Amino acid sequence: MNTIIFGLPGNERLMDQLAETIGATRGELSMRQFPDGESYVRVVSEVKGMEAIVVCTLHLPDGKLLPLLYLCRVLKDLGAVSVRLVAPYLSYMRQDTVFKPGEALTSAYFARLLSSFCDRLTTIDPHLHRRSSLAEIYSVPCTVLHAAPLISAWIKANVKDPVLIGPDSESEQWVSVVAKDADAPFTVLQKTRLGDADVRVSVPEVERYMDRTPVLVDDIISTARTMIEAVGHLKRLGLKAPICVGTHGVFAGSAYEDLVGAGAGQVVTCNTIPHPSNGIDVGELISRTLIKDQQP
Ligand code: R5P
């Protein structure tokens, strides 16, 4: 069956890369906002009888959701056999419990909404903390890819004598895997979050790694407060300027500039969210799974 691929605005580079490697037709779209702020979506290409792939990474999700929903719905109305959403970064995953009575459990609501308009979801390292699988909240089949081997390869190729450091206990699950493949030691710091942008990091045992290059590894860099606290802590201990590696560089507001200003030696992210810090390419990883699923 023929495959046609569409990219929402901002996703063109990854869409082009995927179209090229999986041999899919590039779909033509017209999307804009009316003067009153409502969304206009038009599919120009013929999609009848085709499998459609929609590429839309989901940082800053609120403004993307309605255009995405309209696109997926119109593709089905126009006769696409299936619509697969490729969202390298999946948002709302951190709202995975009710912290205070009355709070919306937005990870579950978001999952229900996405599951209502796409037939399948492919993503990279969703933040699974209190949940073990996307299947707990998504009702469509989900393919979860992992950036750890790519991050390990980047560290191996670019950092001499690294010590990998997870900025909090949650990060241990991926730091340990990245460290193993990078043939490097690792440790994990203890973190207390006092507010949205108030994070304290404490008591690592990194003194024995003084001669190594610290590489902080986390799945998401959002406000960057977690990384900034960790960078400050390592610097106070007299370690070299740490390299900060994030799978998903959300960089809310001035987070990137704040992190660089705090003394990070280098900031490197995967291109799950387009950003100047992108140094690790996930295109091939996604292509491989799309090609595998195309095979009869
Ligand atoms: C924790 O839940 C995540 O793994 C990251 O540590 C966290 O999302 C980073 O957030 P921020 O950059 O806002 O400190």
From the CA of 129, give the closest atom in ligand 1: 2
| Residue of 59, 172, 194, 219 with the most ligand 1 atoms within 8 Å of its CB, for mutation | 219
Q: Do domains 3-146+282-294 and 148-271 have the same CATH topology?
A: yes
| Residue of 222, 229, 244, 256 with the most ligand 1 atoms within 8 Å of its CB, for mutation | 222
Between the alpha carbon of residue 256 and those of residues 80, 95, 165, 222, 249, the distances in Å are 40, 23, 19, 9, 9
At 28-76, the pLDDT tens digits run 999 999 999 999 999 999 999 999 999 999 999 999 999 999 999 999 9
pLDDT recorded at residue 233: 85
Query: At a CB cut-off of 8 Å and minimum separation 6, what does 261 contact?
Result: none
206 pLDDT band (50/70/90 cuts)?
low
At 178-194, the pLDDT tens digits run 999 999 999 888 766 77
pTM: 0.93
At 254-283, the pLDDT tens digits run 999 999 999 999 999 999 999 999 999 999
Whose CA is closest to atom 10 on ligand 1? 222
At 99-134, the pLDDT tens digits run 999 999 999 999 999 999 999 999 999 999 889 999
- The DSSP line for 102-121 is T---HHHHHHHHHHHH-SEE
Q: Domains of the chain: which residue ranges?
A: 3-146+282-294, 148-271
- List ligand 1's pocket residues with C-beta within 6 A: 94, 167-168, 170-171, 199, 218-226
Phi and psi angles of residue 39, each rounded to the nearest 5 degrees, phi first: -95, 140
Average confidence (pLDDT) over 1-19? 96
How far is the centre of ligand 1, averaged over its atoms, from the C-alpha of 21 (Å)? 33
How far is the centre of ligand 1, averaged over its atoms, from the C-alpha of 220 (Å)? 5
Query: At a CB cut-off of 8 Å and minimum separation 6, what does 179 contact?
Result: 152, 164, 185, 186
pLDDT recorded at residue 191: 64
Architecture category of domain 148-271 in CATH: 3-Layer(aba) Sandwich (3.40)
pLDDT recorded at residue 263: 95
pLDDT recorded at residue 201: 63
Query: What's the distance, Cα to Cα, between the start and end of the chain in Å?
Result: 9
Query: Does residue 296 have a pLDDT over 70?
Result: no
What mean pLDDT is reported for the chain?
Answer: 94
Grouping H, G, I as helix, E, B as strand and the rest as coil, residue 268 is strand
At 84-93, the pLDDT tens digits run 999 999 999 9
Q: For 3-146+282-294, CATH number?
A: 3.40.50.2020
Query: Does residue 205 have a pLDDT over 70?
Result: no
How far is the centre of ligand 1, averaged over its atoms, from the C-alpha of 223 (Å)? 8
Look at the block and give the residue holding tokens 């090229």: 20
Query: Does residue 173 have a pLDDT over 90?
Result: no
Whose CA is closest to atom 1 on ligand 1? 170
At 275-287, the pLDDT tens digits run 999 999 999 999 9
pLDDT recorded at residue 250: 98
